[in-house]
Amino acid sequence: MHDFSYYIQLLLAGITVGSLYALIAIGYTMVYGILRLINFAHGDIFMAAGFFMIYISGTTSIYVSLPIVLILTVVLGVAVERAAYRPLREAPRMSVMISAIGVSYLLQNFATYYTGGLARPYPVIPFLTREVTIGSMTVKALTIITPVLTVILVVALVLLIKRTKVGMAMRAVAKDQSTAQLMGIKINNVISITFVIGSFLAAVGSVLYFSNYEQVTPMAGAMPGLKAFVAAVFGGIGSVPGAVLGAYVIGICETFIKANNDYAIFSNAFTFALLILILVLKPNGLFGEKLAEKV
């Protein structure tokens, strides 16, 4: 039998994973709230951020490359929206979703081509990976930094949405695009800002995630992306606190399942079982708003 500190350690690891999913999930939930689109490419933007870091840190120091990576990822996210989603704004939803799957396919294939398809080691970021000792346990610094940073970012984001003019515009667009437009809100700008925020958080998540797993592959974004989406649905799509809560539930449960050898293979399946369960029991998620059916 394992002792108490083993479970504490698992819990800490789960919280870290959950925080990372939360950072990605916010991107999904915000885009879905505004465009009603599952941005399948979001996980791949997260992966691309990982590769940006690898290539840029090869030429300059870590601390210079960090902001460059954040900027590049944001540019990529906005570019994807411009190129692949904006032309289809009036198209049926199925077309936009297919376009999103196409972008995801393109990013994965391009990454495979550019990197040769092999796993690349992620650069070591000293202040994240150094070890700290709490009581009797030794953990990486990022185990502590990740949840703290996540909470700070989420609080900042919630304030942005609730208190600022941009946030008000976002909420208006999410509620009703055409009315928002009539009120003088520039929809395209608001959507771009949404993608900026989503990609920025994905980039931050990517730095923390890959510092933890130490390598990046072209497919590295797919699974975390889907799980983050499930987290967003679990919490009620469109709701930022909901997405964060969902991410923690999934991250912690997954870590415990992975730790048990007999059931480790179900760590991914569990997430989807949870998804089906929540969709059946509470289709709007925990904090989701009710959407009236329009005829």
Which residues would be at the binding site for another protein (CB under 8 A)? 36-38, 83-84, 87-88, 91, 93-95, 97-99, 101-106, 109-110, 112-114, 116-117, 222, 226, 229-230, 233, 262, 265-266, 268-269, 271-273, 275-276, 279-280, 283, 293, 295
Measured between alpha carbons, how far is 252 from 73 in angstroms, rounded to an integer?
27
Measured between alpha carbons, how far is 236 from 243 in angstroms, rounded to an integer?
7
Pick between residue 1 and residue 94 the one whose CB is nearest to another protein. 94
Pick between residue 97 and residue 141 the one whose CB is nearest to another protein. 97
Shortest CB 29 distance to another protein, Å: 13
Shortest CB 199 distance to another protein, Å: 19
Displacement of CA 86 from its chain's centroid (Å): 21
Give me the count of residues in the chain: 295
Pick between residue 208 and residue 274 the one whose CB is nearest to another protein. 274
Shortest CB 144 distance to another protein, Å: 32
Pick between residue 100 and residue 208 the one whose CB is nearest to another protein. 100
Measured between alpha carbons, how far is 287 from 267 in angstroms, rounded to an integer?
25
Nearest Cα neighbor of 53 from 211, 192, 198, 255 is 211
Shortest CB 33 distance to another protein, Å: 13
Give the amino acid at 273: A
Asked if 288 contacts 236 with a C-beta cutoff of 8 angstroms, the reply is yes
Pick between residue 101 and residue 148 the one whose CB is nearest to another protein. 101
Token pair recorded at residue 200? 């920025």
Pick between residue 123 and residue 238 the one whose CB is nearest to another protein. 238
Measured between alpha carbons, how far is 146 from 125 in angstroms, rounded to an integer?
14
Pairing of strands 131-134, 215-216: unpaired
Shortest CB 98 distance to another protein, Å: 6
Could you give the residue ranges of the DSSP H alpha helices within the chain?
4-35, 42-57, 62-80, 93-115, 126-129, 141-163, 165-175, 177-182, 187-213, 222-235, 240-259, 267-281
Asked if 147 contacts 16 with a C-beta cutoff of 8 angstroms, the reply is yes
Shortest CB 66 distance to another protein, Å: 28
Pick between residue 145 and residue 253 the one whose CB is nearest to another protein. 253
Shortest CB 159 distance to another protein, Å: 29
Measured between alpha carbons, how far is 188 from 166 in angstroms, rounded to an integer?
13
Shortest CB 3 distance to another protein, Å: 27
Pick between residue 200 and residue 234 the one whose CB is nearest to another protein. 234
Asked if 221 contacts 111 with a C-beta cutoff of 8 angstroms, the reply is no
